[in-house]
């Protein structure tokens, strides 16, 4: 009869979009909301079906979230919208799918992540089924949807969902947290400390290669690493050329 899905997509991705490299914005719309401090998203008004004996749950959630970054002359190189999120679980295993709009081109029913719940059972309490800390792992299709920012198999933010089986059932308060963190490994940058999700200072992903690569590892967006690494190589080449010129002059 109703339900909510709390999911941050991926904390490092949110930080990258609003950080000093992409200098972008994140917008929740069509009924979706975002927690303060560049936090996780809530998608609401669930509809679907369930079977507690078979352990199956299918739920669709309203709302959309748009990530924009790398603006130049009014156009964005990064313009990604996720909408029509759906969860399909059988005995604790399943998928998270969404419609994906990338730079104006829409693809429907993309399986973004494989899901694994802590329990295979669907437990009903006060006419509500609650599933917290459902592990979400990026699929090959999901990796393509994110433009190769992360490789397939990367761990996304955990999924927390609750569905009401009757109209009078009361859904629990959001348990997704203010930043949707808790899934990544190492340090992948924090949310914007100012609480803004528009052009915040966010993370230094790609901007502080020297001190952060060892700790961020695979959790850093691959696209950000490519751009930053290219800049580092170019800068290194400039230093070598400058040194050669100095030596020639001295000789």
205, pLDDT greater than 60: no
At what angle are helices 209-216 and 222-250 packed, to 10 degrees? Answer: 140
- Going by C-alpha positions, the residue among 5, 37, 45 that lies closest to residue 18 is 37
Question: What pLDDT does residue 174 have?
Answer: 59
> DSSP states of 126-182 as a string?
TTEEEEEEEEEEE-HHHHHHTTTSS-TT-B---EEEEEESSTTPPPPPP-S-SS--S
pLDDT at res. 173 = 80
**What is the per-residue pLDDT across 56-107, written as a single tens digit (0 to 9) for each?**
999 999 999 999 999 999 999 999 999 999 999 999 999 999 999 999 999 9
Instruction: Quote the DSSP letter at residue 198.
Output: B
CA 233, CA 153: separation in Å to the nearest integer?
A: 28
Tell me the C-alpha distance between 141 and 145, whole Å.
Answer: 6
**Residue pair 132/175 in contact by the 8 Å Cβ criterion:** yes
Q: Percentage of residues in the chain with pLDDT exceeding 70?
A: 69
pLDDT digits (tens, 9 = 90+) for 136-187: 999 999 999 998 989 999 999 999 999 999 998 999 885 443 344 333 333 3
- Residue 244 reports pLDDT greater than 80: no
**CA neighbor of 216 nearest in space, from 224, 133, 152, 196:** 224
> Which of 68, 57, 8 has its CA nearest to residue 32?
8
Q: Which helix (H) or strand (E) holds 240?
A: helix 222-250
For residue 121, the 8-state DSSP code is S
Answer whether 78's CB lies under 8 Å from 25's CB: no
Asked whether the predicted pLDDT for residue 15 surpasses 70, the reply is: yes
- In the predicted model, what is the mean pLDDT of the chain? 78
**Lowest-confidence pick of 114-118, 126-130, 160-164, 203-207:** 203-207
Instruction: Give yes or no for a contact between 98 and 86, defined as CB atoms under 8 angstroms apart.
Output: yes
Confidence at 126, pLDDT banded by 50, 70, 90 = very high
Contact assessment for residue 45 and residue 64, using Cβ atoms and an 8 Å cutoff = no
User: Residue 233: pLDDT above 60?
Assistant: no
């Amino acid at each position: 009869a109703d339900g909510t899905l709390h999911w941050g997509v991926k904390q490092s991705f949110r930080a990258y979009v609003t950080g000093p490299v992409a200098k972008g914005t994140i917008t929740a719309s069509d009924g979706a909301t975002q927690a303060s401090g560049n936090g996780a998203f809530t998608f609401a008004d669930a509809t679907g079906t369930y079977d507690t004996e078979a352990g199956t749950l299918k739920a669709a959630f309203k709302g959309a979230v748009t990530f924009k970054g790398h603006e130049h002359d009014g156009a964005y190189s990064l313009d990604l919208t996720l909408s029509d999120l759906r969860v399909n679980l059988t005995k604790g295993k399943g998928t998270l799918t969404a419609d994906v709009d990338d730079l104006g081109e829409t693809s429907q029913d993309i399986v973004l992540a494989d899901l694994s719940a802590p329990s295979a059972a669907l437990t009903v309490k006060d006419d509500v089924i609650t599933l917290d800390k459902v592990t979400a792992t990026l699929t090959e299709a999901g990796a393509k949807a994110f433009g190769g920012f992360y490789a397939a198999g990367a761990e996304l933010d955990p999924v927390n969902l609750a569905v009401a089986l009757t109209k009078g059932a009361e859904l629990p308060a959001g348990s997704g947290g203010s930043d949707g963190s808790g899934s990544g490994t190492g340090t992948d940058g924090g949310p914007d400390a100012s609480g803004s999700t528009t052009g915040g200072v966010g993370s230094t992903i790609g901007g502080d290669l020297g001190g952060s690569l060892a700790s961020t590892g695979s959790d850093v967006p691959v696209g950000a690493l490519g751009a930053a690494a290219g800049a580092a190589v170019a800068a290194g080449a400039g230093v070598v050329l400058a040194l050669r010129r100095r030596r020639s002059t001295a000789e």
